[in-house]
Amino acid sequence: MSIAALELDLDVFSGPFDLLLTLILREEIDLRELALADVVLAYLDHLERRGELDLETATEFIVLVAALLELKSRLLLSGEEQELLEIEPEQAAEELLARMLDARRYRAAAGHLAQLFAGEHGVRFRLVPPPPSLRRAIVHQADGSAGGGRDANQLGEAIGRLLLLPPTISLRHIAMHRVSVAERLAHLRRLLRRGSFSFDEAVRDADRMTVAVTLFALLDLYKRGEVDWEQPESFGEIAIHPSAHQLAPTALARGAAHAEAIAG
Amino acid sequence: MSELAQVNAEAPATPHAAQPPSAQHEAQLPAAEHEAEQEVPALARTVEALLFLSSEPLGAGELAEATQAGEGAVRAALAVLAEQYAPGRRGITLRELGGGWTLASDPSTEDAARRLFSRPRAATLSPAQAETLAIVAYLQPVSRPEITRIRGVSADSAAATLLDRGLIEEAGHSQFGAVLYRTTTQFLKLFGLRDLDQLPDIARWDPTPEEQAELRERLLRAGEARGGAGAADS
Amino acid sequence: MSELAQVNAEAPATPHAAQPPSAQHEAQLPAAEHEAEQEVPALARTVEALLFLSSEPLGAGELAEATQAGEGAVRAALAVLAEQYAPGRRGITLRELGGGWTLASDPSTEDAARRLFSRPRAATLSPAQAETLAIVAYLQPVSRPEITRIRGVSADSAAATLLDRGLIEEAGHSQFGAVLYRTTTQFLKLFGLRDLDQLPDIARWDPTPEEQAELRERLLRAGEARGGAGAADS
């Protein structure tokens, strides 16, 4: 499956991933409103369901999400970087309050409109074009002064607009490192042969793209049952061990001691 | 008037059946001699509304079904309306046409109607209307689903307005049953074109002139690439 | 006149069926006491015909131009018609809507109309559609991202439906290229509005100062809680 067809069901959008990108580019979806984490979670769910990792789509996905993340951070920080970073809880609350009040107003106005609409129930209008005799008259008189020449160039312009292909997402602002998943897989396996290690060790001095691809390689190894990994706390160290049941199917206990035992 | 007389004859129970209806004659009488008709009976009111809304003549059977009244009662209601809408009394007349009844404007008002409809209404086209008209002009005949695919959003309302203004018209059906549109003579006149060959060459506005494919194909491809907001909506 | 009464009895139970058929009552009055309305003045007849023919509301100016009469005379003719088409008198009513006058069916005839045309007058309005419509009505021209920002959730599908139903239309592009929307005459027609000024001031729905204070308090507490959690994370 191409990553383009990944079905998303998010707060601000539901539909395929490629449509989401298009809408963001056309500014019909505000990137600032989009929780990118939800997009990533949707992709992980999708991986879970499929039960296998297609490395090509995975790479494509990482690149696109990274691009979106960077775009979004630029949007959020543009112009007022300092202020945004130092926003006080009071300010944030005021801003939120203004938004909530706006939403409430229009929800109430919507109620009013719904009432008006219901009040007009049963009122129908005649939607019948004028009889042909009168329409012929229109044509007849149209070439006179009454017609008013319209500019046919208007039509050419419209076609020009419609021929316009949307820009493809520009990734030029991202340094494109060619990091292959195969290479990172080999790297991880090399480390595994020596026993447990931390993710930080595995990606020491690497750039962000390499870190991301290494994480994918790690996911792949996990799927294949070659590694176990754990992260005791959020943003903490990720400890990676050779898969326990590869060595000893009954050895379920994991942890540093166990890992050391194996390493020893 | 002979049809109307027949209506009455077929509905003997109405008070009008006894008097020969001759609105023409009555119009010459002082108002005091008319039956008081300001309050139209409920069934006649309903029949009046149905005739007003329908673009096609309605038969007594159809009217009876819709109003859930007897056909005799419907004919009586029609007789009441025939009297009220007798020629020369109002701007609208009730006519029997093609086995049914229909409301039509009185011929005496035709000059004013012609002036009304020949007025260039809303001098400018909305962007949606201009796009829809351009697609029809360059690709005709073209179906509504195709227009929607190219524009990425529904063109129904724009197409209806263009139809209303006599700039496009229906041109049969596609093999899949969708209505096809083409431009009208009115369109050519309004845009000062002798014929369709005089439509401006789009090369001037073509953003990717190097593309070789046929215009229709390119428009459809671009429309779909733009993402068919329609896809998200459906 | 008893036959007429019977006609009424056969009609479906519209709200008007309850009233005694007044034709009977009126017949007892000397006809001279009625306003003499059978003879509609020529100008009113013509205006009536134009209103009948046009699917869009017509303004006094347009009517004056088409009838080649003065605007004052047209307004007088409209007053005559307004009397004749006063609600409840006929199956058709004269309404001032969407910046002009238009004829519409009387709501009491809706059941029969639905049976005849076998479709409801208009689909219902979902809450999302109503909210989107309210935002467009008050803020027009307004872009889809703005609508989304205010609603907090996507308005794409609601906006597409409203476009489809002709309640909103495109109104050019914002400086960032997003399509702008505005409401249509169709919106005014379907919501019984003469013009947009008839919408109540949006400030009418502002929460009371107490409610605002309470909201602010709640937000502040939530903000502090989040701020604390963030500090712990970093």
Please indicate, yes or no, if residue B20 is contained in any of the structural domains.
no
Q: What is the pLDDT of residue B182?
A: 93
Displacement of CA A179 from its chain's centroid (Å)? 22
The predicted pLDDT at position C3 comes to 38
Both C96 and C144 in a single domain? no
Mean pLDDT of B53-82: 92
Share of chain B above pLDDT 90, in %: 29
Judge whether residue B37 has pLDDT over 50: no
Phi, psi of A198 (to 5 degrees): -100, 155
Q: Which of C52, C134, C219 sits opposite A106 (nearest CB)?
A: C134
Cross-chain CB nearest to A162 (options B123, B198, B223): B223
Chain C neighbours among A 118-147 (CB < 8 Å)?
119-131, 134
Last residue of a domain, one of B51, B76, B107: B107
On whether residue B49 sits in a domain, the answer given is: yes
Q: What six digits make up the tokens of A190?
A: 């090399």
Lookup: tokens for B184: 């009208």
Same domain for B134 and B66, yes or no, is no
- Whole-angstrom distance, CA of residue B147 vs CA of residue C106: 36
Do B143 and B206 sit in the same domain of this protein? yes
What's residue B5's pLDDT? 38
Q: Do C115 and B66 count as a contact with CB atoms less than 8 A apart?
A: yes
Q: Give the highest mean pLDDT range of A231-245, B177-191, C120-134.
A: B177-191
> For residue A227, which of A242, A213, A216, A214 has the smallest C-alpha distance?
A242
C155/A contact by beta carbon, under 8 A: no
User: Do both C102 and C133 map to the same domain?
Assistant: no
pLDDT score of B195: 86
More confident of the two residues A162 and C29: A162
In Å, how far are B71, B123, B156 from A137, measured between CA atoms?
Answer: 39, 19, 26
Residue C101 three-state SS: strand
Give the C-alpha separation, B17 to B83, whole Å: 12
Which range, A100-114, B185-199, C12-26, C98-112, has the best average confidence (pLDDT)?
A: C98-112
Q: What is the pLDDT of residue B77?
A: 94
- Asked if residue B131 and residue B95 are part of one domain, the reply reads no
Q: Which of C75, C107, C139 is the last residue of a domain?
A: C107
Chain mean pLDDT for chain B: 77
Instruction: Mutate one of C54, C133, C136, C163 to test the A interface: name it (highest A CB count within 10 A).
Output: C133
Same domain, residue pair C137 and C180: yes
Long-range pairs of B206-213 with CB within 8 A, sequence gap ≥ 24: B206/A160, B206/A163, B207/A160, B207/A163, B207/A164, B207/A165, B208/A163, B208/A165
For range C225-232, the mean pLDDT: 46
Q: How far apart are CA B62 and CA A50, in angstroms?
A: 58
- Annotate B85-101 with DSSP letters as a single string: T-TTTSSEEEEEETTEE
pLDDT recorded at residue B128: 80
Residue B149 inside a domain? The answer is yes
As for the ipTM of the complex, it is 0.62
Q: List the 68-127 stretch of A: residues with Cβ below 8 A of B.
A: 124, 126-127
Same domain, B151 and B93: no
Smallest CA–CA distance from A141 into chain B, residue: B118
- Residue C85 sits in which domain range? 32-107
Pick the closest to residue C54 from A132, A122, B117 (CA basis).
Answer: B117
CB contact under 8 A, A139 and B186: yes
The residue among B189 and C64 whose pLDDT is bigger is C64
Q: What pLDDT score does C20 carry?
A: 39
DSSP per-residue letters across C125-189: --HHHHHHHHHHHHH-SEEHHHHHHHHSS--HHHHHHHHHTTSEEEEEE-TTSPEEEEE-HHHHH
In a domain, C13, yes or no: no
- Provide the pLDDT for residue B75: 94
What gap in Å lies between CA B165 and CA A135, rounded to an integer? 9
Beta-carbon pairs below 8 A across chains B and C: 227
Residue B204: per-residue pLDDT: 84
Q: What does B115-184 look like in DSSP terms, one character per residue?
A: HHHHS--SSSPPHHHHHHHHHHHHH-SEEHHHHHHHHSS--HHHHHHHHHTTSEEEEEE-TTSPEEEEE-
Tell me the CB-side half-sphere exposure of residue A35, using CA atoms within 13 A.
12
SS3 for A75?
A: helix
At residue C27, the pLDDT reads 38
Nearest to A162 among B131, B204, B232 (CB): B131
Q: Within a 13 Å sphere around the CA of B192, how many CA atoms are in the beta-carbon half?
A: 10
Per-residue tokens: B152: 């990425």
Q: With respect to residue C181, please indicate whether it lies within any of the assigned structural domains.
A: yes
Asked if A234 reaches chain C (Cβ–Cβ under 8 Å), the answer is yes
Q: Which residue has the higher pLDDT, A91 or C89?
A: C89
Q: Taking chain A (264 residues) in consecutive chunks of 10 residues, what is each chunk's mean pLDDT? A: 74 79 74 83 83 74 77 65 52 70 86 89 80 55 44 84 70 60 86 88 84 87 83 82 57 36 34
More confident residue, C143 or A20: C143
pLDDT, residue C220, reads 66
Tokens of A32: 């600032």
Is residue B232 situated within a structural domain?
no
What dihedral angle (degrees, nearest 10) is formed by the CA atoms of A148, A149, A150, A152? 170
Cβ proximity of C117 and C125 under 8 Å: no
B143 and B200 in one domain?
yes
* Whether pLDDT at B92 is above 80: yes
| Identity of the residue in A14, A93, A124 whose CB atom sits nearest the CB atom of C105 | A124
Q: What is the pLDDT of residue C215?
A: 73
Helices A36-50, A55-77: axis angle to 10 degrees equals 170
Distance CA C165, CA C143 (A): 18
Q: In the prediction, which pLDDT does B154 show? A: 67
| B residues 167-226 lying closer than 8 A (beta carbon) to C | none
- The count of domains in chain B is 2
Q: What is the pLDDT of residues C195-226, one digit of tens each?
A: 999 999 998 888 788 888 877 776 666 555 54
Verify that C205 and C144 share a domain, yes or no: yes
B85 in a domain, yes or no?
Answer: yes
Spatial neighbors of B102 by CB under 8 A, at least 6 apart, are B51, B54, B56, B57, B58, B94, B95
Is residue C118 in a domain?
no
Q: How high does pLDDT run on average in chain C?
A: 77
The three-class DSSP label of residue A125 is strand
Q: Nearest Cα to C109, choosing from C121, C98, C95?
A: C121
CB B112 within 8 A of CB C67: yes
Give the pTM.
0.54
Over 60: is that where the pLDDT of B88 sits? yes
Q: Based on the fold, state whether residues C154 and C204 are members of the same structural domain.
A: yes
We report the CATH number of the domain holding residue C205 as: 1.10.10.10
Please count the other Cβ atoms lying within 10 Å of the Cβ belonging to residue C24.
Answer: 15
Q: Looking at the structure, tell me whether residues B102 and B132 fall in a common domain.
A: no
Residue with more model confidence, B6 or A171: A171
Nearest to B228 by CA among A162, C65, C148: A162
Structure confidence at residue B160 as a pLDDT band (50, 70, 90): confident
Contact B108 C29 (CB under 8 A): no
Cβ neighbours of C11 in B, within 8 Å = 41-43, 46, 67, 69, 73
| Least confident piece of the model among A24-33, B218-227, C32-41 | C32-41
Q: Directed axis angle between helix B127-139 and helix B144-151, to 10°?
A: 120
SS3 call for C222: helix
Question: Considering only CB atoms, which chain A residues are within 8 Å of B135?
Answer: 158-159, 162
| Interchain CB contact of A150 with C (< 8 Å) | no
